[in-house]
């Protein structure tokens, strides 16, 4: 590839709403389905994602992401590739708790968790581990497409934000200032030309 060739684009889409999102319940790797609102969100987002004309669609293997990706697959004709590296944080012993239950159980820990430091949960996956797997899988996804092409990854809120920051080389202090992607919100990373550093061109877009 030459410097004059068009750059690649990566679209990272968060899954649709689940009942657990609505209940403020810690999901992590629990395999929760999207609810009726989540299905409507995914159906509305899919044609807009398809408008980027993606040539590759990769997805977390958790059900909420797979169900969301199915709408994108229908609009694009692409067959999703499921990859566990696109999963949300594993949140250890706190998975399944509502925020109120978590706060009652361990208030100081919950306050740290609520601020985005998920490592504090006992048995949780570390941010370094999430960062490493997200960078690995998203780099592989980008490498699978050619100049001027677009790839879509369907993932999760916290993991997606960590992956974004790592790909752009941001310190934690910058990524912590970002509001998390909403359900079926997406971000867009683009190379201005081939082999150029990725740039954030859109964040938390919604249908």
Q: Tokens 């968060």 identify what position?
A: 14
- Answer left, alpha or beta for residue 116, where phi above 0 means left and psi between -120 and 50 means alpha: left
Structure tokens at 183: 């359900």
88 catalytically annotated? yes
Query: Are the CB atoms for 120 and 91 separated by under 8 Å?
Result: no
Choosing from 88, 125, 190, 191, the catalytic residue is: 88
Nearest alpha-carbon partner for 157 in 10, 16, 9, 11: 16
- The question of whether 111 is a catalytic residue gets the answer no
Helix (H) or strand (E) holding 10: strand 9-14
The first and second tokens of residue 81, run together, are: 């590739």
Reported as half-sphere exposure (CB side, CA atoms, 13 A), residue 3 has a value of: 1
CA 13-14-20 angle, 5° bins: 165
Half-sphere exposure of 30 (CA within 13 A, CB side): 18
Whether residue 175 contacts residue 36, with contact meaning beta carbons closer than 8 Å, is answered with no
- Residues known to be catalytic: 15, 88
């Amino acid at each position: 590839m030459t410097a004059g060739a068009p750059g690649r684009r990566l679209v990272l889409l968060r899954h649709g709403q689940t009942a657990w999102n609505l209940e403020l319940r810690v999901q992590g790797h629990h395999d929760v389905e999207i609810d009726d609102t989540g299905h409507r969100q995914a159906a509305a987002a899919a044609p807009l994602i398809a408008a980027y004309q993606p040539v590759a669609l990769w997805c977390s293997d958790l059900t909420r992401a797979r169900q969301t990706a199915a709408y994108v697959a229908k609009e694009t004709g692409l067959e999703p590739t499921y990859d566990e590296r696109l999963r949300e944080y594993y949140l250890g012993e706190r998975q399944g708790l509502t925020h109120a239950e978590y706060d009652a159980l361990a208030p100081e820990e919950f306050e740290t968790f609520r601020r985005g430091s998920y490592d504090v949960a006992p048995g949780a996956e570390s941010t370094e581990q999430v960062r490493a797997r997200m960078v690995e899988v998203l780099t592989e996804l980008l490498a699978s497409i050619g100049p001027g092409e677009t790839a879509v990854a369907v993932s999760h809120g916290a993991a997606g934000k960590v992956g974004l920051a790592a790909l752009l080389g941001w310190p934690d202090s910058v990524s912590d200032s970002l509001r998390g992607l909403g359900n079926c919100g997406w971000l867009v990373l683009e190379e201005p030309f081939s082999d150029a550093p990725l740039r954030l061109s859109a964040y938390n877009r919604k249908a």
